[in-house]
Structures are given as structure tokens and as C-alpha cells.
Structure 1
Amino acid sequence: MRKLAILLAASTALLPLSLTAARPQTPLPAPAQQSPFTFEKVMVPMRDGAKMETVILRPRGQTGPLPILFQRTPYGVPQATPPTVPGGWKSLVDDGYIFVFQSMRGRFGSDGAFTLSTAVHPNDPKAVDEATDAYDSIDWLVKHVPDTNGKVGMWGVSYPGFAAAVALVHPHPALKAVSPQAAWIDYWQNDDLHRNGALRLSYVADWVYSLQQTKESLEDFPYDSVDTYESLLKIGTLEGLDQGYFKGKIPMATALLDHPDHDSFYTDQNWQKALGKTTVPTLNVAGFWDQEDPWGSWQIYAKQQQNDPDHLSVMVAGPWAHGTWQGKMDKLGNIPLGRDTGVEFREQIQTPFFRYWLHGIGTKPDYHARILQSGSNVWKSYANWPPKGTTATSLYLRADGSLSFDAPPPTEACRDYVSDPANPVPFRERPISPTYPRPEWRWWESADQRFVDHRPDVLSYVSAPLTADLTVTGALAAQLQASTSGTDSDFVVKLIDVLPEDDAKFDENASLGGYPRQLNGYQWPIAMEVRRGRFLASDTKPQALVPGKVMQWDVPLRDHDHVFQKGHRIMVQVQSSWFPVIDRNPQSFVPNIGRAKPGDFVKATQKVCAGSKIALPVMR
């Protein structure tokens, strides 16, 4: 699924991609089926005269004033009515809404240029940006769409999630509820284009290319191999990608080359800083295993909490990949959840939220955070996030490859490995398919990590089986005491829940390929992140590392709520490449990694030393 061509839609039908019915299998004409919606396409004018392609789907046969659910997207709007109610919409349609979809500026039938910019200009009355386009669109809708109750809600997953969230910068008076889901705020930190300043190479090739190659389509990058690992290793760097394939026609890729450090190009686009007092009810939604935008929705919620006297902002999260809560969600990749948690989210949280704020029916959410806790698969309600009652606990990486809650002596030996940029550690099993349209990308963050365990350039540390459940709730982090023989380096840290060897009886009649997919001994990653050495002291003025000097590497592992169950073991893996989801660090300091030359890439000996630990907020 394109990132995401979900219109907050549908468990089975994603409107931009599947509005037309399948061709009949019989030569006889099929009887006409009346859609449950009426269809209208209009061009909505903005303050600068540009017009946005906008589609209005009104429930057929429903009378009386209805609220509007509005979504803005770069992925294309419906070109016809759906033949039936999309499965993910059922509870919303039962309540009654006018659904409105709009192509964002510069995409498909909308005027203007599409720049992928998230910058806003709240103090410039002449500026035009995504926030002003949202305001102008809502203003037009409430004045020109008949039979509305004057209330508008915005929603969206991924890019549409950002488009909904940015409307909060200067909300129109008619905007009464917003649900930014897998939204983003920061291209540098942990949304889409970087992870802690490390470039997401394969996503530039796949996502950025698809959005900027043409205006009215979503084209796939032309890989020359079935294994994107092999293709991108040959291409080498972002400059190789830009010059050899993009030919300078993908503006965002060129901008990333020109801005290798955390300068104003990125900080000016961090639109969330412009949020003031929370005045619009907001349902923020995130997936703990979101492989695309795991950061933004949490930060929007945190910013809103700074000035939310009327308790209008709430946070919802669960064991989900990017946007998967909008479809059938009974498994996180290979990890069973026991029931359809997507239905639970939509019917118990999303629909009641919009029902209360747009219809005035039901009750206001009485929680700050509603979390589907992984490991236990139990819904938790918290009065605060992070919740109170946790104890800061350190889990130490020991020289014998064990994990222990006991600190080692400072004289304990280091462990080492050789990192070779010519043979980087893959981020998932090879051959690695492109991001689109194959499903592997969606689930890679929950994939079994045994495919790299025991590689000579991956260190594994594992605990004894737990004698009781261990619940971690809040922000996780790693603190490595580590060195490199190079002048630049990456360290990737993975926190893993190792399932027992007898977790489930294996079906001996399973089809070919079933055996390595079983859950017995499964190394389930709970949190994974990278830290780039050149940015340890400053992400605006990168510095070369001192070869052989042991330094503290702080590696944030984001917010989680997880139960390591009794009998499970905890594992930590440490490595120095994660390719091609992250570009290769040359391991020799250069001004711009995106323009590194072949001779800049060198082997380096990495050491992980005494005092390295994982910081866990343990819920007692």
C-alpha cells in the first residue's frame, strides 16, 4: 500500500485505489448497483486563487444536517463512488457524515506546486501553506456544501495525518475535531526521511521518488535487481541516486544532499512548534511498530499537553505498523494479537470520538492515553503519559554476552566486532523487496531478528528466562559506552523479546517456508534505533570522532508499553549498519555522507564496553 493511500478508510477497500468495481466474469451485463453515496467533484478556491480538486461523498438517503469528515491527501481522490460501504467506515457511516476528500496543492487535479514542505507561516498574513489551504477549504465547505450542521472533523493516516494535524496551527472556527494518525513533525528526527539524522536511503528512493516524479501518478523506482539491497549498494550514495536516476528532477532529494546537517531547512519545517493553546479536540494515534512515522503523533500530543486546560487532546497507541489499525489487525506481522484490534480501535475509540464532538452524542474521553499494551494485548487507560508509578531500571550489557540488572565492574572487558561498509548488515531478510507494492515493508520492524543473530558484525546479549512478567511503560533508551577505530560511525541498538523455544506447537504439515516463520524462539524486536557518531556532540556542526576513544552513545528508543512475559528472555543486539533503510556510514569523517566517495568507506573495529545499558521504566 502506498504510504498510505489509506483514506482513513477501509479494512478492505482503499478508496483512491479501488473505487471502480471489478470487471464482471460473465459476458452478460451485470445489474446496476446503486452506491450508498452520491458523488460530486468541485474545485475549491484558495486565498491565492489556486483551486483544489475536491470530491464530496454524501450518504444516499440520509436526511437532516450532517457534519463533514474532511481529508486532504497527495495520493489522489476518489474518481467514483464506492459500490458498497468500505468495511472500515461502517460505524462512521451509521452515525452519518458527509465525506470530503481533497488533492493537496500541486497533486493530481489541484493547482500549484507540490514541494513536500511542512513549513507554516503563522505570522505572515500573505503566506500560503498547508495550514492556510486547510483553513480556506473548511471555510468554503461550510459555506457551500448544503445540509451540514456547520461542524467539520479532519482525519488522516500518514501524509493525510499531517494534513489534518497542521490545520491545528490556525484552526477554522468550524473545525471541531481532528484525528492526526501516524502524522509527522520532523523530517530530521524520526519521521520519513531520517532517523536521528541518519538518512533513510531506501525511503528516499521509493517514497520521495513516487511523489515527485510525476504530478498525476505514483511511479515505482526502477530497481535493476530483485534485491534492493544489491541495487542500492551498487548505487552507493544519495548523490549516486540523484545523479544516476533522479537526474536532479526530484527536488526533495537534491535538498537532502544540500542539507546534510540539522540546519534551518529542517527546523523551519517543524510546524508543530507553532501550536499554541489546545482549542480543538484531538485524537492522536500512533503504532509502536510504525515503520514510517513513529514520532510525530507523540510529539503533537506532548506539545498540546503543554497548554490543554480543557483536556481536549488524547493519545492512542498500540502494537500496530503504519496505519494498520484502519484495517484488519489481528496479527503484527507474524505475532498474533488474538483478535481484530483494528475493529476495536475504530468502533470503541475513533467512532465515539467523532460522534461526541461532531454529533454531540456520548461522552467525552476520560483518559489522556489509551494504550493497547503489547505482550499482554490488554487495553490500558492512563491519566498521564508517561504514566506515574514506574521505576527507572538499568539492564546492563555484560562482556560474556549476558544481560544483567547488576552493574559490571568498570574493569570488565569490552566486546568488539569489525564493521565493513562493503558488507552492511541488512535491515531485513534478503532479497529485500521494494517498499511498494509488496507487503514485507509494512512488517519489518516486528520481524524475527534471527536472520542477523550470530553475524560476526552483530553483538547479541541475552538474559536468563524471566521468573516473572516485566512491564516497561514510557520512554526507553540505550546508553552505550563504545568506541570506533574510525573517525565516524553508527551504532544501531535493538531491544528484543525472545519467545520460549516451546512457545507454540509447530504444525508439521505447514507449507514450505513455514518452519523458519514459527514463533518458537522468535526474536521479536520491541524497539530499534540508530545513532550517528558525527552528531553526538552537535547535529548542526558535526565532528569527527577520536579513534579508539570510549564515549557515551545515547540512543533513544521512543515510547512503549510492553510486557516481557514470564519465561521469555530479553535480548539486545548492537550493530553498525542497517542497510538500505539507513545509508551507509563511511566510517571515515567526510563533510557530507551523501557525497562520500568510494575511497571514504573503510572497515572499522567497534567496541562496546563496561557500563553499556538499556534504561527501562519498569511498572511495579
Structure 2
Amino acid sequence: MTLIRPLVLSLMMAMPAVSHALTDKGTYKALPSETPTTFKPTNDAFDYETRDVMIPMRDGVKLHTVILVPKGANKAGILFTRTPYDASEMTSAIASGHLAVAVSHDDEPSDVLVQDGYIRVVQDVRGKYGSEGDYVMNRPLHGPLNPTPVDDSTDAYDTIDWLVHHVPESNGRVAIIGISYDGFEPLMAIVHPHPALKASAPMNPMVDGWMGDDWFHHGAFRQQNLEYIYEQTASRKNHYKWPANYADDYQFFLEGTSAGAVAKRYGMEQLGFWNKVVAHPAYDAFWSQQAVDKILGREPVSVPTMIVASLWDQEDIYGAFAVYKAMAPHDDAHRLFLVAGPWFHGQEIGDGSSLGAVRFGSNTGLYFRQNILRPFLAHYLKDAPDLPAPVNAFVTGENRWETAPSWPMSTGDTLNLVPEADRSLALAHGGHGTGTGTSGSVEYVSDPTHPIPYRPRPVGPMSGTGWQHWLTNDQREASARPDVATFTSAVLTAPVRISGAPHVHLVASTTGTDADWVVKVIDVYPDQVAKQPEMGGYQLGVSMDIFRGRYREGFTTAKPIQAGASLPYDFSLPNANHVFLPGHRIMVQIQSSWFPLYDRNPQTFVPNILLAQPGDYVTATQKIITGGDATYVELPLGR
């Protein structure tokens, strides 16, 4: 102790004196802060003005809305988007005084916006980010699924009414536009629309989440969307992020067994929308009553509407064409437009020169924005004289745009692709099948412990280029597997043009009591392609989808399959607008898993596959009945 005291004293003597910095009460005097309590930026150099407002709805809830007004705007049209993805971020993607740069977000066709001087308005839907109220995924219209007096239609109406009375620079005309979920909103806005709504442009819209958009395809659950459901519904501002503990989603979901087991591991029983998905695995009233194509099929086309579809839309490939088909019979005033481009989900507002390895010979996205979208908006917001054709569709294979009065651009004739027992593919015109060979069969073993990956491993999440391009991936890896039945035509000597949705007539048996059927129509390139060597022998998916066998007798009720019985399965594939060129071949692939995008069918019938247990998963032998009038794919021939 005697050694410690002198050391402490010496240290104390070496410390600087600080007593002069103390007040009488013994506290430190504050050093003045260099940060103001409130800072008001001056944006004099900006070419636009930002107004951040809360707009009241009819029930008193206020919705956060960002209004961007170009400097000098006078009697300008309003371009309006409603989003669950943060209006503030969408309107300030990059800190810039230039409007075109600030709104360079994935949902912004900024070149059209800036060139034509529109006022830009982006709003958080109720319950998300800066908006008040409760969030409900794709909030249904007022009715059996929504007893409240408010929905996305009324919110759009009330917002438009406020805008035309509170934005003096506007001409009182509004167009609503958006992609995906933001594309669902323009469809809701045209249900009992506000008189100032002069145009609607739903792009790649969410329409029917069970039949073929985000949540299911013909009953098969898109389990990789668990991440989206988790992040989108667990908090108002998407604070909770999906923990990515695996580099390969294939391994993650394989070890997780069922989608329900994975969801339970992540505490998703706390999430209202996930509980609804689990409670409604079949196409019951919960899904059918909120299907937007069914709703709009009962409405007159009162607002000019341009529906934009992507032919390789990896997220919402069903909805755009379904809405067009439902609305077309009610288009007495010719207000309905359709665009079909060679794009992934949302690619139309980016560079559309290629998709994965497939090249299109021009920037199809720029062409769409400048030559189709721009005149459509200008006509209804600015009285510009020109309008695009009712239908603009890109012909893949021949790589050109084509116009028509209606969709599909078909002759009304069909070509049947008829699988044969020797793995060949016969081409027959009209009738039922009419294959050239005798009846036979092709078998494969479907093992749920080794499901077929839908894209090369490691399988990443539903984001990034790997996800965007997967529908155009080379299908050779699948065709080489023993659990894929592959049928190939002879080399074509003349072009085969298709336009519309191929229809599958599958006759098959299984040793299980449930089964999934994945059918792909594929364009097989010549063995060598001089100008693009990597395309030699390429197997390009033109139209592909999955069907859950338990719904073969109807989508509303799941029923077990009779083991060993040869039964028919009829379903449609996504729309295509394609030319199989001379020198190419046509291929059909049939398989029983597409993993991990779609959950595995246990191949034993259980009441709810989302809740299947490890012991439910069994190996099954699948038999495709070939030849004659058994299995065939009906192609709609184009003009």
C-alpha cells in the first residue's frame, strides 16, 4: 500500500486543471453545438419542388404522399403511383437537384416523366411507411373480405380528389401508373374511378395470387416468397429482415421440409397474411373474390387502360393477360390497350436489349417508353393527337414489334405437340392429339429427396439477375436428368408462329396419391449459332408452368389421385408470342418438381401440403401416356 499512494499522487499532479470549466453547480459548461436544432435546406438550384403532405381519407386516416412539381409547371398532368415500398425512397433514390436523377428508382419511367413535364406523385398505401392506418396485403375491395368502408379504390379516389384541388400547377388530369404491387393499384383505381382519372397504366400487375401470380401457380405454393411475406408484413417499415443462413436456398428449403415448417421456424404464425395463406391452400372464396380479373370482368372500361405484360415475367406472368381477357368484352368505347414485351418483371422501364443470353436486336424497353407509353399518356393528359395501336406485342424469335386490334394475334388454328414413346415429338394440326405413333408411355421416378432445381445451384433468393433471368435459362441441365421426360421434334423446315396461351392435355398416372406436373414448351437452337456461339444447342423456355395434381377435378377442392390410374390433367401455360425458326426444333419437357421456388409435393395426399410432415414424402413412379390422342400440348398458331 505504501508504494501505491505515491504513484496515485503523481498521476493526479500530472492531470490538467479543469476546475475553470465548471459552473457554480459543478456541471460542465456546454460547448455550442454546430448542428442547428432545425435545418431547412434551400433547393433553389433544383429543377423541381418537393411537397411532403398527409392526405386525409374518408375515414380520417391520413396517407403520406410526396409531390414533385417541376419548376415552372403550369397546367401539367399528374402521374400518380401508390406503393407499399416507401414513397420517400422512391422519390429521392439519389440526392440530386435534377428530377430525372432523383426518381431513378425501379418503378420510375423517368425519361417519359421528365420529357413531358408531368407532376409526379407517390403515396404510401395505408399501413406502410409514412401512412397511417392498418396494412392488409392487396387489401380487398369493400365486401365479404373487407367489411370496412375503405379500400385501395376509395383511397385512390380520395387522393385524386385532394390532388386536383390542392396542386395549383396541375391541369386537373391524373394518370395512375405502377409495376407489380404498384401495378395492382392502377387496377383498383379504375373500380368506381374519380372523374379526374384520365388514364391507368398497370404494368406486370398482381391480379390473382393463387392461379398464377405471386403466391401459388395452379395450387403449387411459391415458397421462396416466404421471405417477402415475412419482411413485408412483420412491420410497417420492413424493419425485420429475413435471416439468410444458407448460400443455397435449395438446401435451405430441402432441410426445412415443408413451407409451414420453415415459416414456424421464423415465427410467421404471428403474421396475419401468412395465416390466411395456410388457411386457404385451395382456390376458395378468399382467393376468387379478390381476383382482380374477375372484379374487372364485371366493370365497364370507363378509364383508358394500358396493360403491360412481360413474356418472361418471373413474378406475375399470369395477371396482365388475365385482366385483358376479362376486360376486353366490355371495351365498347375502345379504351383498352395491351403491350406484351420480351421482358422480365419490370424490365420495360430499363434496358430491354436482352434477357439473359437472349438478344432482341434493339432496346425494346426504350421503344416501349418512347413509342407506346409516351403517346398514350400524352393523349389523355395533354390532348396530344396520337395514340398507340390497341395491341403492341414483340415477336420473339423474329425480334420485331407488331400491332393488332386485339390479343392474341392468332389465326384461330392450332398445332399439337404430341409426345411419342420413343421420346420424339410429333407435330399435328387440329383435332385431338393425332400423334403418328401407337399408344405407349414414358416413365420416370420422382424422388422428393432429390427435387429438380428450377435454376442452377446454388439457388439464390427472389432478387438479382439470377432471379430475373431464370425463365430464359438454358434447360439442358433439366433435359439430361432421368426424372425429366423429354420429347423433341425433327428439325423445322418452316417457321412455326404461336400467339397466345398453349394448353396442356396431359394423360398420366402415378404410384402416389398426389403429384405435381411441370410442362415446358422449349425452343431448341441449332447445334451451332455463328453470331452467338453460346446459343449453340440452347434450350430456351418459351412457355412453362406447374400444375398441382390434387386439383385435376377443380381448383376449389383438393382430392387424392387414384394410384396407378391414367387420368387427364388439363391446364394452360403462360402466353407466348414466338416464332420457332427453321433449323430449330421444338421440345416438350415434363417433370414433377420445380424446387425450391415451388414447395415439394409429398406425393402422398395430405389435407394441406403447407403442413406436410417428413414421413409424408415418398418416391413415386410417374407414367406419361403417349401417342394417339393421349398427351399433347395445343399451340395457338399466330398470323
TM-score by length of 1: 0.90
- Tell me by how many angstroms 1:543 deviates: 0.9
1:329 is matched with: 352
Match of 2:70 in 1: 59
2:81–2:178 CA contact under 8 A, matched in 1: yes
Q: How does 1:189-200 map to 2 (within 5 A)?
A: 189-200=211-222
Decide whether aligned partners of structure 1 residues 93 and 464 sit closer, same or farther in structure 2, where only a CA change above 3 A counts: same
Q: Pick from 429, 443, 456: which aligns with 1:416? A: 443
CA shift in 2, pair 1:401/1:219, >3 Å: farther
Structure 2 equivalent of residue 47 of structure 1? 58
From 534, 540, 550, give the equivalent of 1:534: 550
For 1:574-593, what aligned pairs fall within 5 Å after superposition? 574-593=590-609
Aligned runs of 1:198-597 on 2, under 5 Å?
Answer: 198-203=220-225, 205-217=226-238, 219-275=240-296, 276-365=299-388, 367-406=389-428, 407-408=434-435, 411-436=438-463, 438-504=464-530, 518-597=534-613
Residue type matched to 2:498 in 1? V
Distance 1:409 1:293 in 2: 37
Q: CA deviation at 1:228?
A: 0.4
After TM superposition, give the deviation of residue 336 of structure 1 in Å.
Answer: 0.8
CA distance in 1 between partners of 2:148 and 2:458 (Å): 50
* Other-structure match for 1:619: 638
Question: What's the secondary structure of 2:238's corresponding residue?
Answer: coil
Secondary structure, in 3 states, of the residue corresponding to 1:405?
Answer: strand
- Residue 118 of structure 1 and its aligned partner are, at CA, apart by 3.8
Shift of the 57–466 alpha-carbon distance from structure 1 to 2, 3 Å rule, reads: same
**Using the alignment, how far apart are the partners of 1:182 and 1:323 within structure 2?**
7
Unaligned runs of 5+ in 2: 1-41, 429-433
CA distance in 1: counterparts of 2:467 and 2:295, whole angstroms: 33
The Cα offsets for residues 183-223 of structure 1, whole Å up to 9 and x where unpaired, read as 122111011000011111112x2221221122113654213
Alpha-carbon separation, structure 2, partners of 1:471 and 1:96: 41
8 Å contact from structure 1 (residues 66, 98) kept in 2: yes
Q: Contact 1:52 / 1:104 at 8 angstroms: preserved in 2?
A: yes
Question: Quick check: 48-57 or 552-561, which moved more?
Answer: 552-561
Distance 2:228 2:345 in 1: 14
Contact 1:157 1:182 in 2 (8 A): yes
Partners of 1:467 and 1:220 in 2: CA distance: 53
Aligned residues: 576
- Secondary structure at 1:594's aligned position in 2? helix
Cα offsets for 1:503-537 (capped at 9, x unmatched)? 13567xxxxxxxxxx21111100011111111000
TM-score (norm 2): 0.87
**Structure 2: how far apart are the matches of 1:219 and 1:470?**
49
Please give the secondary structure, in 1, of the residue aligned with 2:602. Answer: coil
2:177 aligned partner, one-letter code? W
Residue 479 of structure 1, CA deviation: 1.2
Distance change (3 Å), C-alpha of 1:565 and 1:228 = same
Amino acid at match of 2:362: R
Residue 605 of structure 1 pairs with residue 626 of structure 2 = no
Pairing 1:150–2:172 present = yes
268-277 vs 160-169, greater mean Cα deviation: 268-277
Contact 1:530 1:555 in 2 (8 A): no
Q: 1:95: which partner in 2?
A: 116
Structure 2 contact 410–500 (Cα < 8 Å) conserved: no
The answer (yes or no) to whether the contact 1:118–1:271 under 8 Å persists in 2 is no
* 2: CA distance, partners of 1:388 / 1:431: 40
Which is higher, the Rg of structure 1 or of structure 2? Answer: 2
RMSD: 1.9
